[in-house]
Amino acid sequence: MFNRDSKKVNKMKELRLKPSRFNVFSNGEDHVKLFNSYTGEIVRFNGEHKDSLLKTLRTKEISYKENNRLVDFLVDNKFLVNSETDEFRKATAQKVASLNKDRTLNLIIMPNEDCNFRCVYCYESFEKQEMSNHTKKGIINYLKANLQRYDTLLISWFGGEPLISFNVIRELSKEMMKLCEEYNVSYLAGITTNGYNLTPEVFKELLSYQVVGYQITLDGTKETHDQSRIGKHGEETYETIMENLIKMKEVDNENFQVILRSNISQETFPVMYDFIDNMKTHFVEDPRFSLHFVSVLNLKGEQNANIHLCNTKELFPFYNYAQNQGFNFDFYKQNLQPGGSECYASNPNSFVIGSDGMIYKCTVAFDNPYNHVGDLKEDGEMNLYHDRLYLWLSGGENEDSSCTRCYFRPSCRGNACPLERIESNQTPCPPIKTNIKRYLDIVEEDMVYEG
């Protein structure tokens, strides 16, 4: 809180204030949570301050009064701004500044585009197989030519199922880590895997390659999971995945995180409370494991006609129940930060590299020609199709009038889903914005206002 005897306060006496248009508040029975998408901060105001806060934020223009602690706090934390401030320009400047500072190269690499599962809602065609030698050479040669321009290399292993070609991960990881050390670039990796081949031996080796982020899917209980996430040859998969997860928990390493994802349809609805109870038994006391619920409706591609889809808002009873069982959902706060709900596909430093060297922007539309934005040659040159590439990098907040006026603009920047914008010529809102107050209820505040 700024010093009331400073020049800043004296200057504030001359100003008129207005509530930031990027404010959102969620009203609880005995508190209010206040969020600002420009700063990403969440503050809780308890009962004694609740009425004063709401009265202040519902006032269009406020004359500054010295020694008003609430106003001082709201100004310091950008919930109140100068009435002459153009917050739209301010948000645009924030995005430009973040792009200029972003020196992370994000490569999503597909060691194999086939999979050992045949999930009933999957959008992939499995026509391509293990990564070719020319693509592996192309990746390394591309990094040799470009890595010195970046501070960080972020690798995300994807598929198909990446672990059916663990040999490719092993080979590329060693070479990429060596290059990062040579160029003094930080290295970080994660993987999206079905978990079936994630044995203790494989997991420990992945950790040695700094693969510290894991997304693994369990669709409810054994019965519902084995009906939707079926092995390629019809085998059941739930028990093998659970065995691998439980053994991961036994590893004495605090530097990895596992997101246990559930794709929820009406078929899995009846068992989700049982699923949460089971996850509580094994993982609730281990902060390295988190739950993440996703509506099947949000997946792209042709879906099995027998699947009954669900809407994101229908998931919150499960969030609330899981939270009451002790699970923490604070990792969603990253989506509330400036740029936190902006899709990776809109980032000019992000590319998806297929097993045959095809360059994509998005991981859920491999058969869409708009998503084929280039080819990686063996010598490391990216032959980019710029007319397609620019579709992913343009658009958003400055071209869509609804984005320009939106309170969530700094968080998603009109780029929640470039694919949907390209296909429909409309800018979609991210689920976290359409359910913003529900998400605010399930994450912890950054601070509590004490007056």
pLDDT tens track for 347-368: 999 999 999 999 999 998 899 9
Asked if residue 451 is part of any domain, the answer here is no
Q: Are residues 422 and 315 in the same domain?
A: yes
Q: Are residues 34 and 134 in the same domain?
A: no
For range 208-237, the mean pLDDT: 97
Q: What is the pLDDT of residues 111-156, one digit of tens each?
A: 999 999 999 888 888 989 999 999 999 999 999 999 999 999 999 9
What three-state secondary structure class fits 314?
helix
Q: What is the pLDDT of residue 14?
A: 60
Q: What is the DSSP letter of 200?
A: H
Q: What is the pLDDT of residue 402?
A: 80
Asked if residue 221 is part of any domain, the answer here is yes
Q: What is the pLDDT of residue 2?
A: 39
> What CA–CA distance (Å, rounded) separates 312 from 439?
11
For range 151-180, the mean pLDDT: 98
For range 41-45, the mean pLDDT: 97
Q: What is the pTM of this model?
A: 0.92
Q: Are residues 133 and 46 in the same domain?
A: no
Q: Are residues 220 and 353 in the same domain?
A: yes
Q: Are residues 193 and 300 in the same domain?
A: yes
Last residue of a domain, one of 33, 50, 85: 85
DSSP H stretches of helix in 331-448: 333-336, 386-393, 401-404, 409-412, 418-424, 431-434, 436-442
Helix (H) or strand (E) run with residue 9 in it: helix 7-12
Omega within 30 of 0 (cis) for the link into 160: yes
For range 88-99, the mean pLDDT: 91
Q: For residue 296, which phi and psi values (nearest 5 degrees)?
A: -60, -25
DSSP H stretches of helix in 150-298: 166-183, 200-208, 222-228, 238-249, 272-283
Q: What is the pLDDT of residue 267?
A: 86
- pLDDT tier, 300 (very low <50, low <70, confident <90, very high otherwise): very low
Q: Are residues 76 and 94 in the same domain?
A: no
Q: What is the pLDDT of residue 397?
A: 64
Tally of domains in the chain: 2
Paired sense of beta strands 350-353 and 104-112, if any: parallel
Mean of pLDDT over the chain: 91
Given a cut of 70, is residue 299 above it in pLDDT?
Answer: no
Cα–Cα nearest to 409, from 85, 76, 36, 57: 36
Cα–Cα nearest to 431, from 290, 266, 294: 294
Asked if residue 269 is part of any domain, the answer here is yes
Q: What is the pLDDT of residue 322?
A: 98
Given a cut of 60, is residue 309 above it in pLDDT?
Answer: no
CATH, residue 323 = 3.20.20.70
Q: What are the strands of the beta sheet with 447-449, ordered from one edge? A: 23-27, 31-36, 42-46, 447-449
Please count the other Cβ atoms lying within 10 Å of the Cβ belonging to residue 50.
19
Asked if residue 229 is part of any domain, the answer here is yes
171 vs 14, more confident: 171
For range 268-293, the mean pLDDT: 97
Cα–Cα nearest to 143, from 177, 110, 111, 169: 177
- Among left, alpha and beta (phi > 0; psi -120 to 50; other), residue 387 is alpha
Asked if residue 450 is part of any domain, the answer here is no
CATH, residue 55 = 3.90.930
Q: What is the pLDDT of residue 63?
A: 82
For range 282-290, the mean pLDDT: 97
Q: What is the pLDDT of residues 416-429, one digit of tens each?
A: 999 999 998 888 89
Q: Which two tokens stand for residue 131?
A: 């990564």
Q: Are residues 129 and 26 in the same domain?
A: no
- pLDDT tier, 47 (very low <50, low <70, confident <90, very high otherwise): confident
Q: Are residues 290 and 411 in the same domain?
A: yes
Asked if residue 449 is part of any domain, the answer here is no
Exposed (0-12), middle (13-18) or buried (19+): which is 285, by Cβ within 10 Å?
exposed
Given a cut of 90, is residue 184 above it in pLDDT?
Answer: yes
Last residue of a domain, one of 64, 85, 106: 85
Given a cut of 80, is residue 174 above it in pLDDT?
Answer: yes
Q: Which two tokens stand for residue 313?
A: 């808002």
Q: What is the pLDDT of residue 99?
A: 86
For range 3-27, the mean pLDDT: 71
> What CA–CA distance (Å, rounded) separates 385 from 375?
9
DSSP, residue by residue, 88-123 = HHHHHHHHHHHHHH--EEEEEEEEES--SB--TT--
Q: Are residues 237 and 256 in the same domain?
A: yes
Question: With contact defined as beta carbons under 8 Å apart, do 173 and 208 qualify?
Answer: no
Given a cut of 50, is residue 303 above it in pLDDT?
Answer: no
Q: Are residues 115 and 41 in the same domain?
A: no
Exposed (0-12), middle (13-18) or buried (19+): which is 73, by Cβ within 10 Å?
buried
> What CA–CA distance (Å, rounded) separates 95 from 168?
36
Q: Are residues 143 and 287 in the same domain?
A: yes
Q: What is the pLDDT of residue 5?
A: 45
Asked if residue 1 is part of any domain, the answer here is no
Last residue of a domain, one of 49, 69, 85: 85
For residue 266, give Cα distances in angstroms to 117, 120, 271, 308: 21, 14, 10, 5
**Three-state SS annotation for 136-164:** HHHHHHHHHHHHHHCCEEEEEEEECCHHH
Given a cut of 60, is residue 248 above it in pLDDT?
Answer: yes
Q: Which domain holds residue 35?
A: 7-85
For range 359-378, the mean pLDDT: 95
> What CA–CA distance (Å, rounded) separates 240 from 199?
9
Q: Are residues 39 and 133 in the same domain?
A: no
For range 202-221, the mean pLDDT: 98
Q: What is the pLDDT of residue 121?
A: 86
Asked if residue 342 is part of any domain, the answer here is yes
Given a cut of 90, is residue 64 above it in pLDDT?
Answer: no
For range 23-46, the mean pLDDT: 95
Residues 6+ apart with CB under 8 A from 3: 9
